[in-house]
Structure 1
Amino acid sequence: MMSDLDEAIELHRAALLLHPPSHSLRSNSLNNLAISLRDRFKQRGMMSDLDEAIELHRDALHLRPHSHSDRSNSLNNLAISLQDRFLQRGMMSDLDEAIELHRDALLLRPSGHSDRSMSLNNLAISLQNRFLQHGVMSDLDEAIELDREALFLRPPGHSHRSSSLNNLALSLQDRFHQRGIMSDLDEAIELHRDALLHCPPGYSGRSTSLNNLAISLRHRFLQRGMISDLDEAIELHRAALLLRPPGHSHRSSSLNNLGNSLQDRFEQRGMMSDLDEAIELHRAALLLCPPRHSHRSSSLNNLANSLQDRFEQRGMMSDLDEAIELYRVGLLLRPPGHADRSSSLSNLANSLQDRFRKRGVQSDLEEAFSLYSQLSYLSHAVSRRRLNAAKSWAASADIFNHPSVLLAYKIALNSLDQQVALLSSSSHHFDVIREDVSSLATDAFSCSVRRGALTTAVELVEQGRAVFWTQLARFSTSLDELSVSGDAGMVLAEEFKRLSFCLRNAFDQSEDQSPQIRQLTMQWDEVVSRVRMLSDFSRFLLPPLFSDLQKAAEDGPVIIVNAGQHSCDALIIRSAGDPVHVPLDIKQVEVFEFSSEFQTLAEQFGSSDYQLTLVGILRKLWNDVVDPVVRALRESEVRPGSRIWWCPTAEFTLLPLHAAGPYEKGRDNLSDIYISSYTPTVATLVRARQQISRDASSQHFVAIGQGNPVEGKELKCVTPELAVVARHVTPVISFTSLEDGDATVEGALDALDRNQWLHLACHGMPHRTQPFESSFAMHDGPLMIKAIIRSNSQNPQFAFLSACHTTVGDKKSPDESIHLAAAMQFCGFRSVIGSMWSVDDEVAREVVSAFYRKLIGGSKRLDCTGAAVALHKAVRSLRKKNIPLEQQIVFVHIGV
């Protein structure tokens, strides 16, 4: 009863008056009064009580010096009160001080101390709270280790063991959401299971424990798709619901959780009984969320989603009409600035389009696109919800040929761009790319071309491809430049990094609207706006314009080749003027089949003679794609012998455009007409051109060879190959060599940091499903892409990757170009030679010898801009020898 607490506070005040500053019991009185005030704050929420408690705890601590037996208790009490105030006011200084106080208390509670587990637990909670604010993974990692130690000190039978099990599980779940390591989620589930055993029937916290375990199992189902996890989650939610009868404060949450899980199972198994039950549960949850309830908008949306699903199954217009009305009411509860407004706009628009298809009422379609258009006014600091809504808008506008279609694609690609920016230091970024990019960029390109907006086509396709590399390049460059642009720039760079961390964590932790997300979004917007006001940063976080991208064509045309749902096209970017459009007489499905056929063939190269099949594919590639482009180049007066750059998209990235030709006597193949290079994106080539080579005397060349790796067959020609490289380049540049036992992962990374020119002869090991684990085979293990991109090369110029499959990435996301050659490009190498499939090591040695001979020639100097011509000449010299065609065309040049 509050009257009892009020009376206790007055009694403690009276006792304090009887214990003046010099009294031995004053610290106890201060502490008792402070604890009672903190208890009253928790009941009534009056900040003045908490503020006073903190000052009293400070006074008590002052009276308990380092030698005092109760000092650890005073440290702990003050820390807990400061943490409570942080949770109310969000002042980081309170949380930082609480952490330091908990650390001091822990030092006074060494191994064997009865309260050590409590101190470990308190410090872990504070660190986890700071992680949620700043996103510093070291805080979360430390919290997990502290939780583990606390759990060890609370063995089976300990009264607080279930609390420790739960705390560790929740921290591991947080880390799973950050790093995506499934073992963290698996362990969290086992800990939740153990915690549930400590909450037997009749235990007050059993429903919470059931709920926690069910939520973790649903997360794992969403990752692995194991229906048994979802089935168990549903049974646990049912059990939790039984413990939350009518009148229970968390009943609506349990109804909602069970309804969502049943809807997930319906989507997997298609059992209408699951969907019908989900609808009834959501109706019951909505009754418990009356007007002004904080969860009412979510409850309206959940019920509407279920009704929409049932309409799609049974076609009952009453379900669709009710869903539309629920979406309308829900939208009113999500005004501009609400984190879920974009989802509500999209849901209502989609339902209106469904009703238009059924009834043909034009006003439904007009309203749908009016709703979509509101997405263009929402804040540009976004969540996945806005990205999905913008994709839905673009797809619908394309289907209905609505005039907003190009704006829709721009908004969708901007949303993707900014979403990946927020995830730039999270393991989630590539999952987002795989799930959300899909054909967004290629469809945007195709749509723009069909509407004659050729420069827009270039801008949009550029924005939606290789977004991983684009973000890394942007943030490693722009923020560095911002930091050194002056005091204002340095402050803004640090603030931008901090807010990006906080926003990413807020989106990961919350599926509902929260004041924290609204506040962080506004702060993020403000910082971006202030950065753009600085000189030279007006386009900060904005994609490049066509005028910027056109600089890529300074030394020769760049050809974008694209396969869209409605058309396949090529655009030729020239150094001046608009792009030239080349329609291609091939359909997207044919490109997919063509690419698949070639990939199957390439996997068999070297096992037998596939030359006739290969020639057939190269002829088809010539007739359907390359020849029309060549004719357009000739009409644009691009002279034979000139350099050209291919920038293929999607499945075109897997095809050897450089080797296309009629392969008939008396007719020229592409390699007889032009010298081909590739670039993964136009902006990549622009950046490579802007990097200026230093004086050759300050450059260094390293050749790394590994013919005897831990795994893989022996490569007998590595040593002769490195000797060939040394013979050609030693007279013109400082040269070192790493071979066999010296060619380790650490040695190679150190060489990347110190040398501008690199020749690498070893096994290349692509990883088709986890492209960041693609690697070069070193003496002591794999040198992976994720290690390469962390290297700090100084003014790198050229890399020859004499290894297999160095331009092969993830088949599911070919536009991302996550492969070994691309990693070298990101490190700054302006010019790279890589391979499209397996390389014969004897052929590699011959190509290498001819290449360096042609590159150096009579000039006795190295220039990376001559690499494409040197490779072209070296490959032509192989035609006179009895070398299989696939080995003549396996090497490709990328970059300047």
Structure 2
Amino acid sequence: MLRVIRCLFRPTIMHRGFASQYIRLEDTSDEGIHLRRVVVELCPLGHQHRPRALDNLAWVLALRFQQHGSIDDLDTSIQLRREAVSLCPEGHTDRADYLNNLAFSLGYRFDHQGKPNDLDEVISLYEEALRLRPVGHQYRDTPLDNLGLALIRRFNKRGDIEDITRAISLFREALTLRPPEHPDRNTTLNNLALALDTRYDKLHVIEDLNEAIDRYRESLQLTRHDHPERHSNLVNLSASLCSRFTQARENEDIEEAINLCRESLAALSSLHPDRYFSHMRLQQAYLSRYRILRDAADLSLAIENFRLASRHPTQGFPRRIMIACNWVIAAEQHSHTSALEAYYTCFDLLDGHLATRSSATSRREAAAAFHYARSLPVDAASCAIRRDNLQHAVELVEQGRGQQWSLASRLKTPVEDLQLANPKLAHNYLDLSRRISNAAQSSVTITDKAAADWAAVEYRRLTRQWEAAVAEIRNLKAFSRFLLPPSYEDLQAAARQGPVIILIASQYSCSAIIIPTSGEPRHIPLPSVTLTDLNNLRDRFARAIRHASIMGPKLPRNDLIVLLRTVWEEIMLPVVNVLEHVLKLKHGSRIWLCPTAAFTSIPLHAAHPFQTRADRSKEPCLEDLYICSYTPTLSALVRSRQMMKKRVTPSFVTIGQGQPGTGKGKALLAVDSELELVHKLVPATANGTTISGDAATRAGALKALEENTWVHLACHGKQDPTQPYNSHFVMRDEHLTLLDIMEKHVPHAEFAFLSACHTAVGDKETPDEVIHLAAGLQFSGFKSVIGTLWEVDDSVAKHVVKAFYENLFNGLEEGGVMDCTKAAWALNRATHAVKTKVPLEQRMVFIHIGV
């Protein structure tokens, strides 16, 4: 069911600390900032005025950030204020002021980037500032107000009712310290109203909303018309009136709400950061009135304000992403023609937001924070399908999913053609890509907050240079789409060796799109399948697999048989009918499955009719008809094919760790015999080597991955459900993690067999990012990978391994060439060959990914 995403924060009138009275708008000019840098230089370490000089420079940088949105200004402001705080230890008379100002800058960065650690630090700093100004202190009102605002932020993020209740209590105390004649009473009235309004959104107690409106009106009465932040009061009152209109449906409330937003916009310059809030509240008012009165003009005005708010350049990505997602929801709910535009806007903003993060881990955390955006890729594709634009559907599902890989791969894009056309540009691009990658890797190990801030500034400086280099490359006619989201024509190259089937699981519809080798894509509706059905099917498979693991190998797998028959009849049979009867695809041909969302946890390749009636011939299953492979994204398959040009003399390494260290898992007694078996089957021309026992360490395994083109890895595998980049292979000393693998670039690598558990299982929090060990190996350079969907029984896995390599290397003793593109076929033959030796769930567990 569609739900509007709640606004995380409303504009407020905030105290800026004791230094703000010295700062004017013109001081944010380059000359003004330069002069304050000179003042800092004139106040070296130990100078009594250095903290004030640092803070004054920090203020102008923070103000310039508000004007122009440069995050580097804000990071520098934070760094300067950290130093100022450090120079004012416990007992210093100005410590509370510098704590307040540091918290202020960190609060802005939280609003801009959404890092939860920043918000926690803001509250901690305000708590200390309040402690330094106890009851009776003449300036206690300021930390009361500021801590209250920070608690509202945290309540909006985490929903703990104690935070909002305490915020209201703090504001009421501050109000007693700011009587009617106090110049800042209007500020506290506004903030108390904001807290009451926020609690109303959670608990829907009408008394909270009515008091909030009264407090906003009282604050407005005390605020001069020329006050620089009067627009905040106007917008906040507008939001409360809109809420009351939704409940009571009094037209006077919504008319006043719209007029207040218009008045606030009239008071703001075109690039003022708070225009975002005015546009956001104005769309809310128009949309609320449209839902009651159904005037199409109101819907059009609401959509236009969604558009303006999501594209406002001086606001941070988190807020703009939130409003763009709400735009998607509104456009879908009301069947508005702007829905596709809204989806594209979301993807562009998400890509921009993730690109500001300097490590894969922080990018994944940033993506996971937008829980309401998880279904965007499949919902966007469904939207395009409903508009009969299948090419756009393919482009959207590709652009929206796998963003983690696409951002990381931008720094590893092959540039051979560019090197031939313009060696200088290619060299500059590669150099900057290398420097950004190094900066990203080094940032992972930084624990000091100040050093981390400076590292972030350096990362973004390099990123801007890299973006400028990319823009220069795109000016070349033949490279106009260099690193841009791929077009359908680009993506169709993934189907060069056989059709690709994208399985789309959306709340609006479930369907498949077949991308043929040539021609237009084909849409296959799956009318009997819903997203709820798929989630139930996924959970039933998980239970059936767990049950099978405790059953004897000879007992029938009736529950799995029923589930695989369901997959065949409701999902894969409609696809097969199109492949056979429309595309005329020959039996034995290769196909690639590209599942999304809930489809990623269902063993589609094992779909089977399991017909047993004697009066009819046996109906073939999917793997009888076609050779099935998977691909995490279309781009990944295209990239692997492009890199196949770099083939070298093959070298094969078997890596095994059957005796992991204490506490790292049980002994795998069959590993050594599996390594020996593989080593015997590898052709002599591959110069096979084995690493096991004490030699199978993290460093030893990484070195082997870099130095060999073919790898067989047998050990414990572990998918980390909370931090997928920590998913790992268990070695003798340290874990070999997904991050370790991603950091390697092995362009000549060809094939990897991952004889370990859970190596091709995605992340439940972000299923369409396909973050798992097999995808990591493909990303690092391996074109063809065999992974596993669940736990592997090492006592029977050797039967699959033996049959696989016997098929793969059959005939090589007569001078044949090792060919990783035969891996999918060899796996298909192997699973057929071991039917009498290996239980069903252990035959299904292995899947092929890549070329």
Whether the TM-score (by the shorter chain) exceeds 0.5 is yes
Cα separation, 1, equivalents of 2:172 and 2:782 = 58
Q: In the alignment, is the contact (CA less than 8 A) between 2:219 and 2:233 conserved in 1?
A: yes
Q: Once the two structures are superposed, what CA deviation does each residue of 1:2-55 show, in whole Å capped at 9, x if it has no partner?
A: xxxxxxxxxxxxxxxxxxxxxxxxxxxxxxxxxxxx999879988999989988
Q: In the alignment, is the contact (CA less than 8 A) between 1:752 and 1:792 conserved in 2?
A: no
Does 299-308 or 211-220 show the bigger shift?
211-220
Taking every aligned residue pair, what percent have the same amino acid on both sides? 39
Determine the structure 2 residue equivalent to 1:816: 769
Q: How far apart are residue 538 of structure 1 and its match?
A: 2.3
Q: How far apart are residue 444 of structure 1 and its match?
A: 1.7
Cα separation, 2, equivalents of 1:717 and 1:300 = 72
Which secondary structure state, in structure 1, belongs to the residue aligned with residue 501 of structure 2? strand
Which secondary structure state, in structure 1, belongs to the residue aligned with residue 401 of structure 2? coil
In the alignment, residue 621 of structure 2 is paired with which amino acid? N
Determine the structure 1 residue equivalent to 2:574: 628
Determine the structure 1 residue equivalent to 2:845: 890
Matched, 1:748 2:691: no
Does 321-330 or 42-51 show the bigger shift?
42-51
Which secondary structure state, in structure 1, belongs to the residue aligned with residue 685 of structure 2? coil
Q: Once the two structures are superposed, what CA deviation does each residue of 1:612-643 show, in whole Å capped at 9, x if it has no partner?
A: 11111111111111011011001201110011
Match of 1:356 among 245, 267, 290: 290
Distance 1:41 1:250, change over 3 A: closer
Determine the structure 1 residue equivalent to 2:523: 581
Cα separation, 1, equivalents of 2:334 and 2:466 = 35
Q: In the alignment, is the contact (CA less than 8 A) between 1:753 and 1:794 conserved in 2?
A: no
Determine the structure 2 residue equivalent to 1:663: 610
Cα separation, 1, equivalents of 2:418 and 2:217 = 52
Match of 1:306 among 240, 247, 261: 240
Q: How far apart are residue 872 of structure 1 and its match?
A: 1.2
Cα separation, 1, equivalents of 2:491 and 2:811 = 35
Q: How far apart are residue 817 of structure 1 and its match?
A: 1.2
* Structure of larger gyration radius: 1
Which secondary structure state, in structure 2, belongs to the residue aligned with residue 653 of structure 1? helix
Match of 2:795 among 842, 854, 862: 842
Cα separation, 2, equivalents of 1:674 and 1:39 = 71
In the alignment, residue 424 of structure 2 is paired with which amino acid? G
Q: How far apart are residue 387 of structure 1 and its match?
A: 2.8
Determine the structure 2 residue equivalent to 1:607: 550
In the alignment, residue 322 of structure 2 is paired with which amino acid? N
Distance 1:446 1:176, change over 3 A: closer
Q: How far apart are residue 723 of structure 1 and its match?
A: 1.8
Cα separation, 1, equivalents of 2:639 and 2:351 = 19
Determine the structure 1 residue equivalent to 2:641: 689
Q: In the alignment, is the contact (CA less than 8 A) between 1:777 and 1:783 conserved in 2?
A: yes
Cα separation, 2, equivalents of 1:282 and 1:40 = 25
Which secondary structure state, in structure 1, belongs to the residue aligned with residue 848 of structure 2? strand
In the alignment, residue 585 of structure 2 is paired with which amino acid? V
Q: Once the two structures are superposed, what CA deviation does each residue of 1:651-685 show, in whole Å capped at 9, x if it has no partner?
A: 11111110001012411000100011111211111
Matched, 1:477 2:430: no
Cα separation, 1, equivalents of 2:177 and 2:267 = 30
Q: Once the two structures are superposed, what CA deviation does each residue of 1:783-806 show, in whole Å capped at 9, x if it has no partner?
A: 333343233445332222211122
Matched, 1:386 2:320: yes
Determine the structure 1 residue equivalent to 2:818: 862
Cα separation, 1, equivalents of 2:379 and 2:127 = 46
Q: How far apart are residue 445 of structure 1 and its match?
A: 1.3
Match of 1:451 among 378, 387, 390: 387
Matched, 1:533 2:475: yes
Does 613-622 or 687-696 show the bigger shift?
687-696
Distance 1:716 1:411, change over 3 A: same
Cα separation, 2, equivalents of 1:708 and 1:522 = 44
Distance 1:194 1:351, change over 3 A: closer
In the alignment, residue 628 of structure 2 is paired with which amino acid? S
Report the TM-score when normalising by structure 2: 0.81
Q: In the alignment, is the contact (CA less than 8 A) between 1:561 and 1:646 conserved in 2?
A: yes
Distance 1:699 1:203, change over 3 A: farther
Q: In the alignment, is the contact (CA less than 8 A) between 2:36 and 2:57 conserved in 1?
A: no
Cα separation, 2, equivalents of 1:247 and 1:489 = 66
Cα separation, 2, equivalents of 1:340 and 1:489 = 42
Matched ranges for 1:668-683 at <5 A: 668-683=620-635
Q: How far apart are residue 725 of structure 1 and its match?
A: 2.4
Determine the structure 1 residue equivalent to 2:6: none
In the alignment, residue 343 of structure 2 is paired with which amino acid? Y
Matched, 1:557 2:557: no
Q: In the alignment, is the contact (CA less than 8 A) between 1:430 and 1:468 conserved in 2?
A: no
In the alignment, residue 791 of structure 2 is paired with which amino acid? S
Q: How far apart are residue 708 of structure 1 and its match?
A: 2.5
Q: How far apart are residue 294 of structure 1 and its match?
A: 3.4
In the alignment, residue 565 of structure 2 is paired with which amino acid? R
Determine the structure 2 residue equivalent to 1:24: none
Which secondary structure state, in structure 2, belongs to the residue aligned with residue 838 of structure 1? coil
**Can you give the 5+ residue segments of structure 2 that lack an aligned partner in the other structure?**
1-18, 441-461, 613-617
Q: How far apart are residue 477 of structure 1 and its match?
A: 3.3
Matched, 1:766 2:766: no
Question: What is the count of residue pairs matched by the alignment?
Answer: 789
Cα separation, 1, equivalents of 2:63 and 2:259 = 42
Cα separation, 2, equivalents of 1:773 and 1:325 = 52
Q: How far apart are residue 555 of structure 1 and its match?
A: 0.4
Distance 1:88 1:844, change over 3 A: same
Match of 2:141 among 181, 203, 207: 207
Q: Once the two structures are superposed, what CA deviation does each residue of 1:485-527 show, in whole Å capped at 9, x if it has no partner?
A: 63699499969989x99xxxxxxxxxxxxxxxxxx99999998
Matched, 1:414 2:348: yes
Which has the bigger relative contact order, CA under 8 A and spacing at least 6?
2
Cα separation, 1, equivalents of 2:401 and 2:668 = 36
Cα separation, 2, equivalents of 1:356 and 1:165 = 46
In the alignment, residue 469 of structure 1 is paired with which amino acid? W
Q: How far apart are residue 560 of structure 1 and its match?
A: 0.8
Q: How far apart are residue 334 of structure 1 and its match?
A: 5.4
Matched ranges for 1:213-252 at <5 A: 213-246=147-180, 248=182, 250-252=184-186
Determine the structure 2 residue equivalent to 1:647: 594
Determine the structure 1 residue equivalent to 2:676: 723
Cα separation, 1, equivalents of 2:364 and 2:731 = 28
Matched, 1:427 2:362: yes
Distance 1:175 1:829, change over 3 A: farther
Q: Once the two structures are superposed, what CA deviation does each residue of 1:398-447 show, in whole Å capped at 9, x if it has no partner?
A: 33333333333333333333333334648265343542423222122112
Q: In the alignment, is the contact (CA less than 8 A) between 1:346 and 1:392 conserved in 2?
A: no
Cα separation, 2, equivalents of 1:685 and 1:159 = 63
Distance 1:806 1:162, change over 3 A: same
Match of 2:538 among 595, 614, 626: 595
Determine the structure 2 residue equivalent to 1:133: 73
In the alignment, residue 819 of structure 1 is paired with which amino acid? H
Cα separation, 1, equivalents of 2:315 and 2:25 = 36
Q: In the alignment, is the contact (CA less than 8 A) between 1:569 and 1:582 conserved in 2?
A: yes
Matched ranges for 1:3-14 at <5 A: none
Determine the structure 2 residue equivalent to 1:125: none
Q: In the alignment, is the contact (CA less than 8 A) between 2:415 and 2:426 conserved in 1?
A: no
In the alignment, residue 351 of structure 1 is paired with which amino acid? A
Q: Once the two structures are superposed, what CA deviation does each residue of 1:716-775 show, in whole Å capped at 9, x if it has no partner?
A: 112212222222236232444333433333433344344333322222222223323333
Cα separation, 2, equivalents of 1:644 and 1:43 = 65
Distance 1:396 1:839, change over 3 A: same
Which secondary structure state, in structure 2, belongs to the residue aligned with residue 581 of structure 1? strand
Which secondary structure state, in structure 2, belongs to the residue aligned with residue 262 of structure 1? helix
Q: In the alignment, is the contact (CA less than 8 A) between 1:437 and 1:464 conserved in 2?
A: no
Q: Once the two structures are superposed, what CA deviation does each residue of 1:278-318 show, in whole Å capped at 9, x if it has no partner?
A: 33333344445544543333333222222223333444443
Which secondary structure state, in structure 1, belongs to the residue aligned with residue 771 of structure 2? coil
Cα separation, 2, equivalents of 1:747 and 1:431 = 33
Matched, 1:263 2:197: yes
Q: How far apart are residue 177 of structure 1 and its match?
A: 8.4
